Amino acid sequence: MNRDLDKILTYWKKEYSENLENYKPYKTSPEFKHIASLLSPGHSYYYILNLHNLTLDEISPSVQKFVNKELSQISMSDLLNTALAEEMPGIAKKEAVIKDFYNRFLNPSEVRDYKLIYSYKLRDLKGLVRTMLHQATILSSTEEGKLQHVFCLHSDVSHLKINSTTDISFIHFENGKSYYNIDTSEGIFNPNASEFGGNNIQDLLTEREKEVTTMLAEGFSAREIADFLNLSGHTIRTHRRNILKKTGCSNTAELIAKCLTGGVISLN
């Protein structure tokens, strides 16, 4: 087994599994499966991780586009093993920040109020490197706030032609506080460690700038965006320059990656 992969699994067992005394499978309804399948079209897959023993209580058939095994034989280790070796240390730090956020920073009553987002790269069954967006939310926890079941959705965003990033976002489902583009280099959650200082990328951009950014991510040229928004090409190019300056991004690919993790761009 890959040493870095084994470290992540061992870390999860220590921080989650050893704190759960009883095994409790997560029972999904047909409605749940239907909604989950709608969330994972094309090159995406979802699963439910049982943190008691790191087994998969549910997994979508589409995972077989990434793992060459019978569906019933696929394990969490197999999923982790698809990630590029050079991505594993970064994933380990992201997972440390996730644990710190849920186990230390949040109150037990808040753990199901957030979804988390980060990106990473894997190699698919054809040997191609793909950029994936990992989204996860807690489905159940104990009264003490110990995490039990996690719903995870992995989406191929390679068509956006972006690299994976080192940051992570925790987005509140309602009107609570969200934490965007949090630095993970120290392996701890620091609410002030956003690369955008006291702001987040959502607040930095105007609604028009968000619209332009989304269309850039969808592959539209400046001229096409200008025609659609009934603006001049010069205005769109000015918007792009201003957006890059505000966010500190050096190019459009970096901007799209940050906006994807930061929740500005939705895959829906």
List CB contacts of 214: < 8 A, sequence separation 6 or more. Answer: 264, 265
Pairing mode, if any, of strands 129-141 and 147-156? antiparallel
pLDDT for position 125: 92
Give the full edge-to-edge strand order of the sheet including 114-123. Answer: 55-59, 44-50, 147-156, 129-141, 114-123, 168-172, 179-182
pLDDT for position 63: 94
pLDDT for position 267: 67
At residue 38, φ and ψ (nearest 5 deg) are -70, -30
Among 235, 55, 215, which residue's Cα sits nearest to residue 149? 55
Residue-range domains of the chain with CATH: 3-182 (3.30.450.20), 201-261 (1.10.10.10)
pLDDT for position 206: 92
pLDDT for position 41: 53
- Cα–Cα–Cα angle for 53, 57, 63, nearest 5°? 110
pLDDT along the chain (268 residues), means of 10: 84 94 86 72 86 95 94 96 95 97 95 96 93 94 93 91 88 90 94 77 89 91 93 92 91 90 78
In residues, how long is the chain? 268
What is the per-residue DSSP string for 110-160? GTTSEEEEEEEEEE-TTS-EEEEEEEEEEEEE-TT--EEEEEEEEEE-GGG
